[in-house]
Amino acid sequence: MYTDIAIEHFTNPRNVGVIEDYDGMGEAGDPSCGDYLKIYIKVENDFVKDIKFKVHGCAGAIASSSMTTELAKNKPVMAAFAITEGDIINALGGLPEEKVHCSLLGALALKKAIIDYAKTRNKDDNSL
């Protein structure tokens, strides 16, 4: 059963869309269920100033993607990079056991977007 927070993020997802002039973009998918997520970030002064996502997936994937963007927005890049699937699940107040894997998509796509940002800025991944 979904929590009220998860239902709110599924029915009213935050930060949906594309940032055309993004600084980093990350993708993650789950071939077993067909969920697919893209996260776009805009960074200013080493803070995630804007973040958007597009997802093709179930209620759990939509809620997790929405919460991922809320957790990362306006955070220092390193703090956003440290967001885990556990952080996403906790912020949603839990997910049904069979939907826990959805939170991994958000954490993974966010990390990939930040790595993409670091690479395009000629930084090595250890100096984010």
pLDDT at 53: 98
Query: Is 58 one of the annotated active-site residues of the chain?
Result: no
Catalytic residue among 102, 107, 108, 109: 102
Among this protein's residues, is 33 annotated catalytic? yes
For the segment 92-100, the average pLDDT, to the nearest whole number, is 89
Average pLDDT of the chain?
92
**Residue 92 and residue 122: Cα distance in Å, rounded?**
35
For the full predicted model, state whether its pTM sits above 0.85: yes
CA–CA separation, 45 and 54 (whole Å): 25
Compute the residue count for the chain: 128
Identify the band that residue 127 occupies on the pLDDT scale cut at 50, 70 and 90: low
Q: Is the pLDDT of residue 125 over 50?
A: no
From first CA to last CA, the distance across the chain in angstroms is 37
Question: Could you tell me the fold of the domain covering 4-119?
Answer: Sufe protein. Chain: A (3.90.1010)
**Which among 16, 33, 82, 104 is annotated as catalytic?**
33
Q: Where along the chain do its domains lie?
A: 4-119
pLDDT at 61: 93
Tokens of 82: 């440290």
